[in-house]
Structure 1
Amino acid sequence: MVESAGLFSAWLLGLSLGLTACTVTCLPFMGTWVLARQRAVVLADTGWFLAGRVSAYALLGWVAGLSGARLSAELHGGLGHVAIGIASVAAGLWLLLGEGRPRGCTPLRAAHTPPLALGFALSLTPCAPLASLLAFTAQSGSATFGAAQGLAFGLGAAVTPLLLVLPLLAAFGARLKTEQRWLGLWLQRGAGLVLLALGGYRLSLGM
């Protein structure tokens, strides 16, 4: 009963993040990404993005259970910014280069790697709910307990307004491309450049 209450508390803590700061932090990256994508794949991209977040929190909980407070120190040292910067730059390059290749040259599953990486990387930035989770799991000294807490936290954080906002942005982008077909390529290139700029900014913060 005590363990179930702890998991529920971790889920509520993640929910508090998913309904607030998660949207503000993630929207510039994923909003830019979905604007350039086909509307039919946006739900899958959103799912991969959330899968990246959940897996990152589970991993963070596992590591915190092993390493104690050292993990929080590493995250505050700029590791999260560097990871976000790399993931954002990679997503921008994908839009600028990878999407232009013929369909047969790029495996369909590989197209979901950028949102998965963005979701994972965006979970590495320190915030009050995550810091509370890591402090709690660090005291346990158990990797299994930490992973369970992180997983519960991640499932809570996956409940986010992005589930509604991203499809709306994708629909807006699809409408623009339908009404003005020439906008499709420029929207894709513009989104790629924005992601490169966002990635460069995050890298500068982490250096």
Structure 2
Amino acid sequence: MNPPELAALFAPDGQVGLLGALLLGLSMGLTACTITCLPFMGSWVLGRAGGRGEALRHTGAFLIGRMLAYAALGALAGQLGSVLVEILKSDLGNKAIGLASTFAGLWLLAPMLKAKTPAAASRPVVFHRKGTAPQRGCGTARSGAALPPLLLGAALSLTPCAPLGWLLGVSAMTGSATAGLSQGLAFGLGAAVTPLLLVVPLFGSLGQRLTDERDWLTFWLRLAAGGVLIFLGARRFFA
């Protein structure tokens, strides 16, 4: 494909431009996205030990966060132009990732404040009324647990990279928040096609298998995963 054809494919206006954004997002989702995001999401679902189903739901929340963030960035770039590009050239992305990762780590560790020792994490067998889901270990079924993956997805969309720079540049060239929103949404939909949908649930299954009938291990697994997320967050924040 020669340069004029490439230019037409990635034109900032019309359906062809949206196709270019979709394909560029797809190329990123299948490569760099997996490498960058797996340490965060892998640690999260392993520490949760909620099984394949929960891990898949949380991966979905993570990808929704990314899509919403890319759509918002596209709209802001279309409205603000190069101002947003200059803002994102600062360390804003790393700060956001650091905060989101630290929040996820603290979320994992929070139930352990009640179980102050590994022995306290083990609970006797109790009977639950019909329709009431039992909670294992350190509160695996904690309400609202999809929030940290959602925030991680939104924050990691700010990772400085060439595809993001292209998205912001093309969106800024449109001079329209609506057109920029379309570009960002198309890019985010492409980026949502990622091997994370296959790999991350494996971590959830592994965590569940490790903690089955080993409530004491739930404590240490959460401690390790939460510590990793906080370490990754601090490393990003102070980079």
In the superposition, the TM-score normalised over structure 2's length comes to: 0.80
Alignment-derived partner of residue 139 in structure 1: 173
C-alpha distance in structure 1 between counterparts of 2:90 and 2:111, whole Å: 32
User: For 1:88-127, what aligned pairs fall within 5 Å after superposition?
Assistant: 88-98=101-111, 108=143, 110-127=144-161
Partners in 1 of 2:102 and 2:20 — Cα distance? 35
What residue identity is the alignment partner of 1:73?
Answer: E
Deviations 1:129-161 (A, max 9, x none): 111111111111100000010000000000001
Query: What's the secondary structure of 2:153's corresponding residue?
Result: helix
Give the drift of 1:179: 6.4
Q: Is the contact made by 2:54 and 2:204 (CA closer than 8 Å) also made in structure 1?
A: no
In structure 1, distance between residues paired with 2:77 and 2:37: 23
Indicate conservation of the 8 Å contact 1:51/1:119, yes or no: yes
Q: How far apart in 1 are the matches of 2:172 and 2:147?
A: 30
CA contact (8 A) 1:72 1:126 kept: no
Out of 172, 184, 188, which is 2:222 matched to?
A: 188
Aligned to 2:202: 168
* Secondary structure in 2 matching 1:97: helix
Specify whether residues 98 and 150 from structure 1 end up closer, same or farther in structure 2 by C-alpha distance, changes over 3 A only.
farther
The verdict on how the C-alpha distance between 1:129 and 1:5 changes in structure 2, with shifts beyond 3 A counting, is same
Note the alpha carbon deviations across 1:151-191, whole angstroms, 9 max, x for none: 00000000001000001111111121126442111101110
| Cα-to-partner distance string for 1:89-110 (whole Å, 9 max, x where unaligned) | 1000000004766969x972x2
Match in the other structure for 2:164: 130
Q: Which runs of 4+ in 1 moved over 3 A?
A: 98-104
Instruction: Specify every segment of 5 or more residues in structure 1 that has no aligned partner in the other structure, as ranges.
Output: none
Q: Relative to structure 2, which stretch is displaced further, 91-100 or 148-157?
A: 91-100
The answer on whether the counterparts of 1:75 and 1:125 sit within 8 Å (CA) in structure 2 is no
1:48-93 Cα offsets, whole Å, 9 max, x none, are 1000000000000000001112222222211000000000010000
Q: Distance in 2 between matches of 1:130 and 1:28?
A: 20
87-96 vs 182-191, which moves further: 182-191
**CA–CA distance in 2 between the matches of 1:74 and 1:126?**
12
Which residue among 82, 89, 92 is the counterpart of 1:79? 92
CA distance in 2, matches of 1:47, 1:99: 26
Aligned length: 202
More helix by share: 1
Give the Cα–Cα distance (whole angstroms) in 2 for the partners of residues 83 and 187 of structure 1.
25
Aligned residues: CA RMSD: 1.9
Structure-1 separation of matches of 2:216 and 2:147: 27
Aligned partner (choices 57, 65, 68) of residue 52 of structure 1: 65
Pairwise CA distance, 1:5: 1.2
Amino acid at match of 1:15: L
In structure 2, the partner of 1:16 is 27
> For residues 99 and 131 of structure 1, do their structure 2 counterparts lie closer, same or farther at Cα, with a shift above 3 Å needed?
farther
Q: Does residue 178 in structure 1 map to residue 189 in structure 2?
A: no
Q: TM-score, length-normalised on structure 1? A: 0.92
Asked if the contact 1:87–1:118 (Cα under 8 Å) also holds between the matched residues in 2, the reply is yes
Question: Residue type matched to 1:127 in 2?
Answer: C
